[in-house]
């Protein structure tokens, strides 16, 4: 999605802006631009395509401005062409605006402005903003801040903006209406960005604007107001991230680095959430899991609903399985984009869980906000209990939810989610085990067994990476030329892994892939099969293993090439069924999804690399989907 960077201070703005945009590139974009003010003049440079195009143009047009705004655009209204790239300017070339989000009523504002003689240079929704600000400044004695405030009161939709004005060269105005924007505090210099990754090289003191807030930034400091003009007093917090987290560190792609970070992520998550002093045989009166959630929450859950999108939805689907099977709590899962328009009936004592790696997905945030709003007027047993499962506790979802499980995955740069998925899944294991302990739905012995199994997971992921990476790379060569479709099948707790394998393949290799519960194949999808359509079966030993094998045999009988993901203990038997066997170390079925997904991540990664595709920034996709 679009990225915003802003700077005001004593350094040369352009380099700070462009390097900030480079750090936001992972979010996805198709054009970029910066606007700066020097010697009272606004200078705006934009370019279609990758950021090096913008850099080239900027090298020909050097300014030493100390204030500026920059933007990477992910096209929504208007094609990805230079004239639609941000910043957008008013007709007098005084005011420059960058926006992330959508101004929903832009058509009527455009008509209104056109009737007043304004000529538009783009097809974007954003261009109405500088023209409106300009009109308010010309028609009245409003200050710059007041004119921006007044303009915002005319805008409908979810957006964040940053604005500069050549007539006020010491002010940068930033506002938030449901799209994220964070301020960064340096020594005599201030920053803003739609994502803290752009701020990390400069400062770790950050403050996220809340909805309905506007900030006036000057070299002397930052003032924050509500849209209705009340001054707000808030303090920055210090991030404990280091800039190394957003470097490739010798890996060819961020995605590969993040796949290899998974053992470490799981270790740090286990260290954070497993209680080391818990021993089943001592019958402890505290939980083996240390989530820090209030006991009041546990006493009051009769029903759980999960909302999420994409890969996070797949993590939620595993979560549903665990919460029902381990803790015995009826659980539903919905796509957030559907839920917000067709919510479930309001049930008392409901826990609503939002799952998101960016913490900013517009649909997930809107579904949670809607849930909170519709319950707020009801009696206490209906009140919303919102839990976020996210690696970005500082994000919008972190501000919105009263409970958070920080998955400890840190920031993820590759657009295809890998380590954040595993970490979200672990979050659900902890929640389900903790609830199972509190509700006594599992014996202490069974809890110990599962927890011991979890402790082996980091080593098993390492082993999978060591033993499978090269073999999967070899295998990948066979699917890069003529393969147009893939089918993934799985059952029970591993059906979501089939879905996730298919999504990863679609996203980065652009090969059409579908996933089905293995038992559903014969109810229709089996008609798709022939020798040209490989079938990947997630066949982890356990309660549904034989069923998956027999479903796979049905595919084989239709000439499909069969690839099996199974346990290393099972390899000889599996070789009778599968043409290719991808193995993970032995693991009990309940924990098997955490391992089974690894070979599928590697398969999609290697196919995409061999096809020469942009693994970290696949076409049309964005890391943080902040529009509906």
Catalytic residues: 2, 623
Regarding 416 and contact with ligand F6R (CB under 6 A), the answer is yes
Q: Considering beta carbons, is residue 9 or 316 the nearer one to ligand F6R?
A: 316
**What is the nearest approach in angstroms of ligand F6R to the Cβ of residue 600?**
12
Choosing from 323, 625, 626, 627, the residue that interacts with ligand F6R (CB under 6 A) is 625
Stretch that binds ligand F6R, among 160-168, 286-294, 353-361, 373-381 (CB under 6 A): 353-361
Structure tokens at 359: 């913490």
Contact letters for ligand F6R, residues 501-540 (x by CB under 6 A)? --x---x---------------------------------
- Dump strand ranges (E) for 76-127: 88-89, 95-103
Report yes or no: 283 and 440 within 8 Å, Cβ to Cβ.
Answer: no
Relative orientation angle of helices 419-439 and 444-476, to the nearest 10 degrees: 160
Choosing from 9, 70, 180, 310, the residue that interacts with ligand F6R (CB under 6 A) is 310
Q: Considering beta carbons, is residue 312 or 406 the nearer one to ligand F6R?
A: 312
Regarding 358 and contact with ligand F6R (CB under 6 A), the answer is yes
**What is the nearest approach in angstroms of ligand F6R to the Cβ of residue 503?**
6
Report yes or no: 30 and 75 within 8 Å, Cβ to Cβ.
Answer: yes
Interatomic CA distance for residues 6 and 393, integer angstroms = 23
Report yes or no: 404 and 373 within 8 Å, Cβ to Cβ.
Answer: no
Contact letters for ligand F6R, residues 363-402 (x by CB under 6 A)? -x--------------------------------------
Interatomic CA distance for residues 36 and 42, integer angstroms = 6
Q: Assign 95 to helix, strand or coil.
A: strand
Q: Considering beta carbons, is residue 416 or 574 the nearer one to ligand F6R?
A: 416
Interatomic CA distance for residues 510 and 619, integer angstroms = 9
Structure tokens at 618: 């696949």
Interatomic CA distance for residues 399 and 369, integer angstroms = 11
**What is the nearest approach in angstroms of ligand F6R to the Cβ of residue 343?**
18
Q: Considering beta carbons, is residue 127 or 507 the nearer one to ligand F6R?
A: 507
Stretch that binds ligand F6R, among 61-69, 158-166, 354-362, 444-452 (CB under 6 A): 354-362
Q: Considering beta carbons, is residue 8 or 388 the nearer one to ligand F6R?
A: 388
Rounded-to-10 torsion of CA 267, 416, 584, 260? -50
**What is the nearest approach in angstroms of ligand F6R to the Cβ of residue 253?**
14
- Distances in Å between the Cα of 312 and the Cα atoms of 355, 369, 469, 500 are 6, 18, 24, 10
Q: What are the DSSP calls for 23-38, one per residue?
A: HHGGG--SEEEEEEEE
Regarding 417 and contact with ligand F6R (CB under 6 A), the answer is yes
Using CB under 6 A, list all residues that contact ligand F6R: 309-312, 356-358, 361, 364, 416-417, 503, 507, 625
């Amino acid at each position: 999605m679009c990225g915003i960077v802003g700077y005001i201070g004593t350094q040369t703005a352009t380099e700070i802006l462009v390097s900030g945009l480079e750090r936001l590139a992972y979010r996805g974009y198709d054009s970029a631009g910066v606007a700066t003010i020097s010697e009272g003049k606004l200078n705006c440079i934009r370019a279609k395509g990758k950021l090096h195009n913008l850099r080239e143009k900027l090298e020909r047009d050097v300014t030493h401005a100390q204030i500026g705004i920059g933007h990477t655009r992910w096209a929504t209204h208007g094609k990805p062409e230079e004239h639609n790239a941000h910043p957008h300017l008013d007709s007098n070339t005084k005011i420059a605006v960058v926006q992330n989000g959508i101004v929903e009523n832009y058509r009527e504002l455009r008509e209104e402005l056109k009737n007043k003689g304004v000529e538009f240079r783009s097809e974007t929704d954003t261009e109405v903003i500088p023209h409106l600000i300009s009109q308010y400044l010309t028609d009245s004695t409003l200050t710059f801040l007041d004119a921006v405030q007044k303009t915002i009161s005319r805008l409908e939709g979810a957006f964040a903006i940053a604005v500069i004005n050549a007539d006020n060269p010491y002010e940068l105005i930033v506002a938030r209406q449901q799209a994220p924007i964070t301020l960064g505090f340096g020594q005599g210099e201030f920053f803003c960005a739609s994502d803290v990754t752009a701020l990390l090289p400069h400062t770790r003191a950050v403050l996220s604007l809340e909805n309905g807030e506007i900030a006036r930034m000057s070299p002397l400091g930052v003032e924050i107001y509500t849209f209705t003009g009340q001054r707000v007093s808030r303090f920055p917090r210090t991030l404990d991230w280091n800039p190394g987290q957003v470097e490739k560190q010798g890996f060819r792609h961020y995605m590969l680095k993040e796949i290899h970070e998974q053992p470490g992520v799981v270790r740090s998550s286990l260290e954070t959430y497993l209680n080391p002093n818990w021993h089943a045989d001592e019958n402890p009166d505290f939980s083996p899991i240390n989530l820090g959630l209030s006991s009041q929450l546990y006493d009051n859950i009769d029903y759980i609903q999960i909302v999420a999108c994409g890969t996070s939805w797949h993590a939620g689907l595993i979560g549903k399985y665990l919460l029902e099977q381990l803790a015995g709590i009826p659980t539903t899962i919905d796509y957030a984009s559907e839920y917000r328009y067709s919510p479930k009936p309001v049930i008392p004592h409901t826990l609503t869980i939002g799952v998101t790696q960016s913490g900013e997905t517009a649909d997930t945030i809107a579904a949670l906000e809607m849930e909170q709003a519709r319950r707020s007027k009801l009696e206490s047993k209906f009140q919303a209990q919102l839990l976020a499962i996210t690696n970005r506790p500082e994000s919008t979802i972190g501000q919105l939810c009263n409970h958070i499980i920080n998955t400890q995955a840190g920031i993820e740069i590759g657009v295809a989610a890998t380590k954040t998925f595993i970490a979200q899944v672990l979050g659900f294991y902890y929640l389900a085990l903790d609830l199972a302990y509190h509700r006594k739905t599992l014996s202490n012995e069974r809890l110990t067994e599962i927890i011991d199994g979890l402790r082996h997971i980091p080593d098993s992921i390492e082993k999978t990476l060591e033993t499978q990476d090269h073999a999967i790379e070899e295998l990948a060569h066979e699917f890069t030329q003529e393969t147009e479709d893939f089918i993934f099948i799985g059952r029970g707790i591993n059906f979501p892994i089939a879905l996730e394998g298919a999504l990863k393949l679609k996203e980065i290799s652009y090969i059409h892939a579908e996933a089905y519960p293995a038992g559903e194949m014969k109810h229709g999808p089996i008609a798709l099969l022939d020798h040209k359509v490989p079938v990947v079966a997630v066949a982890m030993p356990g309660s549904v293993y034989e069923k998956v094998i027999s479903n796979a045999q049905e595919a084989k009988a239709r000439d499909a090439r069969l690839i099996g993901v199974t346990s290393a203990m099972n390899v000889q038997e599996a070789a009778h069924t599968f043409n290719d066997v991808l193995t993970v170390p032995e693991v009990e079925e309940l924990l098997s999804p955490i391992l089974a997904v690894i070979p599928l991540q590697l398969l999609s990664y290697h196919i995409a690399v061999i096809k020469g595709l942009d693994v970290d920034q696949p076409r049309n996709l964005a890391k943080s989907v902040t529009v509906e």
